[in-house]
Structure 1
Amino acid sequence: MPRTAPPSAAPPAAAAVKPLSAPQKALRKLGLVRPIDLALHLPLRYEDETRLTHLAQAREGEVVQIEGTVTACEVALRPKRQLLVTLDDGSAICTLRFFSFYPSHQKALSVGARIRARGELRGGLWGWSMVHPSFRSAQGELPDALTPVYPSSAGLPQAYLRRAVLAGLQRADLSDTIPPEALQACPGLCSRGGGRPWSLREALHFLHQPTPDVPLAALEDRSHPAWQRLKAEELLAQQLSQHLARRERSTLSAPALCAQPGGLHEQLLAALPFVLTAAQRRVADEIARDLARTVPMHRLLQGDVGSGKTVVAALAAAVAIDAGWQCALMAPTEILAEQHFGKLVGWLTPLLAPRGKTVAWLTGGQTKKARAAMLHAIASGEAALVVGTHAVIQEQVRFHRLALALIDEQHRFGVAQRLALRAKMQDAGWEPHLLMMSATPIPRTLAMSYYADLDVSTIDELPPGRTPIVTKLLADSRRDELIARLRAQVAQGRQVYWVCPLIEESEALDLRNATATHAELSAALQGLCHADGSPARVGLLHSRMPAADKKAVMAQFASGAMAVLVSTTVIEVGVDVPTASVMVIEHAERFGLSQLHQLRGRVGRGTAASVCVLLYAPNEQGRLSDSARDRLRAMVETNDGFEIARRDLDIRGPGEFLGARQSGAPLLRFADLATDTHLLEWARAWAPRLLDQSPELAHKHMDRWLGGKSDYLKA
């Protein structure tokens, strides 16, 4: 009969939680928690420790592995403290130099020890040497696979990481989640025996421990079929999550907003002082069709600088307001929000006033009294349209009936902020329609990949009357010549933007700042007058100024009372001053290509011929980096925002292009949208089929690759 513990016996004490070691903490910091996370942590590069090289046959500059006996080991103090180890491999002698070392190094490298050392071989007056080679005891057989070198962090030695990855490989579920017929249809995967595709298990084991006969080039450029399998898996996971997000959204309910004959939509069109372009009419119709459905719209409106996205957004707002609902427009900066507010008030207020409705303005810098009045108007429904910054999504903002959310420069907002705006009416059982806007055109491969769950409307035509902008490169050494030319331009009544990258002096970067440049230009233009005799004033605008001061400076520049506006990048988007025709971008080599294009788009909005001067400062050797040179060349060669975007993607890659850290979109770790379009198209085609035909496999595949990282799709 089994023995049982008496009823009064106390339960065993819970085992104490063992604190994590430094390497375990480092693993977690890298996101390596699950066995599959470790299995998918692939090497950056490989070291060939499968063969030995005799020093007598070695060549200078080669990375080689040698084996020999330590004949001397001493600490030298001159010219600097270093550990010098003499290694004799039987054919020649090599000196191993360590400038950073510990007593354990000296013990392992003591005289008589037989070791293997791997490093770059250098020649010299005193014979062969290696600086900080890797080394180990010569005991045991040579490995039969290349040694992987993994992405790591402080406190995470390669040896520990290799063991952890190997353990993860052994424990992870690597069963295939892609049906055989889908794999057979994927280009580049069928290169095993008999045309059989690589399995995930085979691909991962191979990439973690490739045999030495594999060409390193195929591993490094990721063209090997094993790499192709990993890329295909990753892209399929991304496409599955995008398609699933679209399907889940289609089950939600949104109010049907239909444009009424003779309603606010048509009244606004009739009141506009200009005629819409064909592209604007086309995208406005696409948006109107979406709004008329009971499924929430999830659309991206993209167009080049100055293509007229704001008026399209106003027309969408008019449809929502006419149907008896509210609309909210959120912009990333107060200056941009105020630009939108000014235009929308001018267009809509005369039409809304007879209906007893207003346009509300909501930012963080308002007085308590003004803010309370706005909050009341929003909650009561009196404010049919609400324009503002992040203040729009604060908890105390209560909408009466929000049906349409407009987000400008959507990549500037984080996932949580976009979700917060959409959540404003979810308590009432409604999901607002969502229209996101971007002045950075998106290349086709990005739209296919990161925006697969979005409908994309593109304004691919500029309004008539926009003057071409001439872009010129000028070295900073010709700065005085540029300022002299600006004097002549200002004397003729031209207005100038001068953009600087910093506000105050920085010891880390040798950049002129906005404050110093403002003083310099004020002195250079002193005594100069406009053609009408008024003094030519120089203004200063930067993000640290109080909101009221910013507003006053912009108003003076827009009215023509200010000749030159020295600014940081707060004017990057949305600022519309038709009389400004000269843009100077200081230290242009420091700006991103998209940012340069946005800044250039602040001029060329009137009838005067416009110019953008890219003022650059080479390094001490008189050179620019390759990427800086590519960016500046692209700016000079084209004004086309779509071509600019394509080149920007080539230069920066998708993560930086999208601002993925802000947007929440997980970066593609393995696939490259520039070279793997064939795999992306395969994944796009098979994702919906997998969701329909093998939903369990599809969800298992997403969980393996994304874990809990697919929430960003909800925004």
Structure 2
Amino acid sequence: MSAARKPSSQSSPGGSGKSSPLHRLGLRSDWDIALHLPLRYEDETRLTPLHALRDGADVTVDAVVTEAQVQGRSPRRQLLVRLRDADSPQQTLTLRLFHFYPNQIKSLQPGVRLRVHGQVRQGLFGWEMVHPSWKTVDAHDPLPTTLTPVYPTTAGLPQSYLRKAVTGALARLDARDNVPQEERARHHLPDLVASLRTLHAPPPSAWASLEAGEHPAQRRLKFDELLAQQLAQQQARVQRLRWKAPALSGSGGDEALPQRLRAALPFVLTPAQERCVAEIAADLTQTAPMHRLLQGDVGSGKTVVAALAAAQAIAAGWQCAIMAPTEILAAQHARKLADWLEPLGVGVAWLSGSQSKKEREAALQRVASGQAQLVLGTHAVIQAQVRFARLGLAIVDEQHRFGVAQRLALRDSLRAGTQDTGLQPHLLMMSATPIPRTLAMALFGDLDVSTIDTLPPGRTPVRTTVLSAERRDDLIARIGALIAQGRQAYWVCPLVEESETLDLQNAVATHAELSAALAALPRAAQQPPLRVGLLHGRMKAAEKRAAMQAFSAGDIGLLVATTVIEVGVDVPNASLMVIEHAERFGLSQLHQLRGRVGRGAAQSDCVLLFTPPLSPTARERLAAMRELSDGFALAQKDLELRGPGELLGLRQSGVPGLRYADLAQDADLLEAARDTAQRLLQNAPDAARQHVALWLGEGFDWLSA
């Protein structure tokens, strides 16, 4: 099969070229058209007599027009067409058409035989169909032998034209297959072009397997796109191995820094942390740039692993940059790492968008001169004016929260920001959202993965309760009693201000309501006034810092916030997390929020406040939160319920390059595609290149995705 996407010879309705409806759907070649699969199918292969109609059924009938008349006045006119068949002389079927043309009325004269397909329903005057598909036939016209495809379409592109375009495109396809016969046999996969022909015109017997997404032809297409993705990732890995990076070992700085940092820590690393530290340390000594993902559950201790990696880079005489997606998270890292490393003589600089011009210029000068050995901040770290003297390691926390453009900017900035070293910095990405293995293979297959799979000792399990919003007053009283005992609490809302479309409690209104309700509770004379804080993403950076500092210091008893506190907030005295409208959140986000408590010795609780009635999916999510505490198990459940995009907080609904495969259901195909990709790159590199070009385009660059 040639990978070239030659333009289709089909002429499209409504114009040609870029303005045509086909082009608006992205269908520019025969392969594009052939890969434009049906949304669903209609079974027109058998007829249902009128006396056998059932309410709600999708049926095909052959019947004769007995009457056609227009009722009502514009714009509410409708065309009513009454039909009878020979098998049911006493039974009629009415077609109700709200949109019709004068020539259609003329064609629907009494005595005309119609073949009609649609959903039948019981109306006030008998059986009827509203806007079915229909055509005139004679008594001897044969029925179709395959299911009728219904395609995704756009204005000006009727189903009849799409069906003709697909038939023509399939006839012109090159029948060669990029996947060798032995690979197809190994994984029990049919030929690609034969699979496409089946999917566009399947036999009626295939209906059940198509509905389940398990037909061999569907599996072939899923395999092919997963194979293209795995090939692109493995090619990216090979390309990255050609880049050069500094070997971060030996002299050049404070060689004893990692050991001095370990000695200064007030705790001992867990075996899982030690394993990850060793994997990263080994990578950093290589001359090929490290590209590693460090993942771990909430509170598993990723920050200290990152600190030891930074210490290794600084000990070798190079700089380390750590970037986080939000200022709250970046500031949390800055405080913790500065507390650990500044007493050991490490120069630390802070970069963020909220800095004054004077502060920023001073920080930039320290970074460029090399005085700042550790540089922390938000995306401000990758701005064009930032120049490093000797950047050897870049650490990106919650990297999936950066957009594709920001990640590409990070890659380019890291190269440009190293001035004249000519070397690519090592890259460590961190994620506190545990990623199921299939999703890690699909999104981060070109990376090495280190996983902290155990929690540090002493963490108190958080009790999780699911509570109806009808018991809100009881919960407020409980918060008042908790704060009176010297503890603190969070109350998380999904919105900042009221929405016209979603009836959700918002942070601003909730802050006012809770402030008034808690102030009205009886309090002992010696107790200080109860303060309620507010934190959300639209506040100025200085306001957010002040709110977090007051909460960390214990001056605020209850912090009302949006999900801006989802990651990076660490207040051990906070022992209660209330999540408003918990039914609106995904499992991984709920787990992240729950992880803000349980960081001290006291028993902590998470209350999932919901507004009834609950959908079945929401009920299943909240039940999983109540029963499961392991982040990896919850992430796998979230992948099954909501898909990869929502699991990772991405704007897109799925994984780049995937249109057909479902990572929650097709893990076996992903494994098979990964193995095949390795063999194909080794034994048939031309076929591998053509396969990637066919599925992802000639100019596809996985490194920027």
Give your verdict on TM over 0.5: yes
Aligned partner of 1:192 in structure 2 is none
Q: What is the one-letter code of the residue matched to 2:185?
A: Q
Aligned partner of 2:43 in structure 1 is 48
| 1:203-282 map, 5 Å | 203-212=195-204, 214-258=205-249, 263-282=256-275
Q: Secondary structure at the match of 2:178?
A: coil
Aligned partner of 1:83 in structure 2 is 79
| 1:371-520 map, 5 Å | 371-427=360-416, 428=420, 429-520=422-513
Instruction: After superposition, give the CA deviation of every residue in 1:131-186 in whole Å (9 maximum; x if it has no partner).
Output: 22112232654333211112334444322322333333233434201111111111
| 1:240-639 map, 5 Å | 240-258=231-249, 263-353=256-346, 358-427=347-416, 428=420, 429-526=422-519, 533-618=527-612, 623-639=613-629
Instruction: After superposition, give the CA deviation of every residue in 1:226-250 in whole Å (9 maximum; x if it has no partner).
Output: 2222222222222211211111111
Q: What is the one-letter code of the residue matched to 2:191?
A: S
Q: What is the one-letter code of the residue matched to 2:35?
A: L
**Is the aligned partner of 1:701 residue 2:701?**
no
Aligned partner of 2:131 in structure 1 is 132
**Distance change in 2, residues 1:426/1:104 (3 Å):** farther
Give, in whole Å, the separation in 1 of the partners of 2:258 and 2:123.
81
**Distance change in 2, residues 1:439/1:28 (3 Å):** farther
**Distance change in 2, residues 1:644/1:71 (3 Å):** same
Shift of 1:521: 0.9
Q: Secondary structure at the match of 1:450?
A: helix
Q: Which runs of 5+ in 2 are unaligned?
A: 1-12
Q: What is the one-letter code of the residue matched to 2:148?
A: T
**Distance change in 2, residues 1:322/1:132 (3 Å):** same
Q: Secondary structure at the match of 2:444?
A: coil
Q: Secondary structure at the match of 1:525?
A: helix
Give, in whole Å, the separation in 1 of the partners of 2:262 and 2:345.
14
After TM superposition, the score normalised by the length of structure 2 is 0.91
- Tell me if the contact between 1:414 and 1:664 (Cα under 8 Å) persists in the aligned partners: no
Q: Which runs of 5+ in 1 are unaligned?
A: 1-17, 190-197
- Tell me if the contact between 2:14 and 2:156 (Cα under 8 Å) persists in the aligned partners: no
**Distance change in 2, residues 1:570/1:25 (3 Å):** farther
Shift of 1:310: 1.1
- Tell me if the contact between 1:245 and 1:714 (Cα under 8 Å) persists in the aligned partners: no
Of 19-28 and 144-153, more deviation after overlay is shown by 19-28
Give, in whole Å, the separation in 2 of the partners of 1:348 and 1:155.
65
**Distance change in 2, residues 1:471/1:150 (3 Å):** same
Q: What is the one-letter code of the residue matched to 1:460?
A: D
Aligned partner of 2:144 in structure 1 is 143
Q: Secondary structure at the match of 2:115?
A: strand
After TM superposition, the score normalised by the length of structure 1 is 0.90
Shift of 1:311: 1.2
Shift of 1:416: 2.3
Q: Secondary structure at the match of 1:148?
A: strand
Q: What is the one-letter code of the residue matched to 1:160?
A: Y
- Tell me if the contact between 1:492 and 1:531 (Cα under 8 Å) persists in the aligned partners: no
Q: What is the one-letter code of the residue matched to 1:415?
A: V
Give the count of matched residue pairs.
680
Aligned partner of 1:10 in structure 2 is none
- Tell me if the contact between 1:414 and 1:662 (Cα under 8 Å) persists in the aligned partners: no
Q: Secondary structure at the match of 1:144?
A: coil
Shift of 1:401: 1.7
Of 649-658 and 630-639, more deviation after overlay is shown by 649-658
Q: What is the one-letter code of the residue matched to 1:127?
A: G
Q: Secondary structure at the match of 1:643?
A: helix
- Tell me if the contact between 1:650 and 1:674 (Cα under 8 Å) persists in the aligned partners: yes
Q: What is the one-letter code of the residue matched to 1:215?
A: A
Of 323-332 and 666-675, more deviation after overlay is shown by 666-675
Aligned partner of 1:14 in structure 2 is none
- Tell me if the contact between 2:645 and 2:652 (Cα under 8 Å) persists in the aligned partners: no
Shift of 1:466: 1.2
Give, in whole Å, the separation in 1 of the partners of 2:390 and 2:549.
34
**Distance change in 2, residues 1:449/1:123 (3 Å):** same
**Distance change in 2, residues 1:113/1:313 (3 Å):** same
Shift of 1:219: 1.4
Of 152-161 and 85-94, more deviation after overlay is shown by 152-161
Give, in whole Å, the separation in 2 of the partners of 1:532 and 1:269.
44
Q: What is the one-letter code of the residue matched to 2:581?
A: H
**Distance change in 2, residues 1:563/1:246 (3 Å):** same
Aligned partner of 1:98 in structure 2 is 97
Aligned partner of 1:676 in structure 2 is 666
Give, in whole Å, the separation in 2 of the partners of 1:545 and 1:510.
22
Shift of 1:125: 5.3
- Tell me if the contact between 1:22 and 1:155 (Cα under 8 Å) persists in the aligned partners: no
Shift of 1:654: 2.9
Shift of 1:352: 2.8
Shift of 1:80: 5.8
Shift of 1:53: 2.5
Aligned partner of 2:114 in structure 1 is 115
Give, in whole Å, the separation in 1 of the partners of 2:235 and 2:32.
23
Instruction: After superposition, give the CA deviation of every residue in 1:61-85 in whole Å (9 maximum; x if it has no partner).
Output: 3211122333322332399643222
Aligned partner of 1:32 in structure 2 is 27
Instruction: After superposition, give the CA deviation of every residue in 1:232-289 in whole Å (9 maximum; x if it has no partner).
Output: 2222222211211111111111111126695211111111122111111110110000
**Distance change in 2, residues 1:274/1:591 (3 Å):** same
Shift of 1:200: 1.0
Aligned partner of 2:66 in structure 1 is 71
**Distance change in 2, residues 1:157/1:377 (3 Å):** farther
Q: Secondary structure at the match of 2:121?
A: coil
Give, in whole Å, the separation in 1 of the partners of 2:400 and 2:671.
25
Give, in whole Å, the separation in 2 of the partners of 1:23 and 1:147.
29
Aligned partner of 2:7 in structure 1 is none
Aligned partner of 1:8 in structure 2 is none
Q: What is the one-letter code of the residue matched to 2:673?
A: A
Shift of 1:706: 1.4
Give, in whole Å, the separation in 2 of the partners of 1:22 and 1:617.
51
Give, in whole Å, the separation in 2 of the partners of 1:655 and 1:20.
36
Cα RMSD (Å)? 2.4
**Distance change in 2, residues 1:527/1:95 (3 Å):** closer
Shift of 1:662: 5.7
**Distance change in 2, residues 1:385/1:170 (3 Å):** farther
Q: What is the one-letter code of the residue matched to 2:168?
A: A
Give, in whole Å, the separation in 1 of the partners of 2:568 and 2:678.
38
- Tell me if the contact between 1:39 and 1:168 (Cα under 8 Å) persists in the aligned partners: yes
Give, in whole Å, the separation in 2 of the partners of 1:433 and 1:27.
45
Identity score, percent: 61
- Tell me if the contact between 2:488 and 2:557 (Cα under 8 Å) persists in the aligned partners: yes
Give, in whole Å, the separation in 2 of the partners of 1:616 and 1:170.
55
> Which residue, out of 52, 55, 65, partners 1:60?
55
Instruction: After superposition, give the CA deviation of every residue in 1:426-455 in whole Å (9 maximum; x if it has no partner).
Output: 354322111111011111222333322111
Give, in whole Å, the separation in 2 of the partners of 1:109 and 1:155.
24
**Distance change in 2, residues 1:628/1:314 (3 Å):** same
- Tell me if the contact between 1:412 and 1:662 (Cα under 8 Å) persists in the aligned partners: no
Instruction: After superposition, give the CA deviation of every residue in 1:601-621 in whole Å (9 maximum; x if it has no partner).
Output: 000011111000000001xxx
Give, in whole Å, the separation in 2 of the partners of 1:320 and 1:657.
33
- Tell me if the contact between 1:27 and 1:156 (Cα under 8 Å) persists in the aligned partners: yes
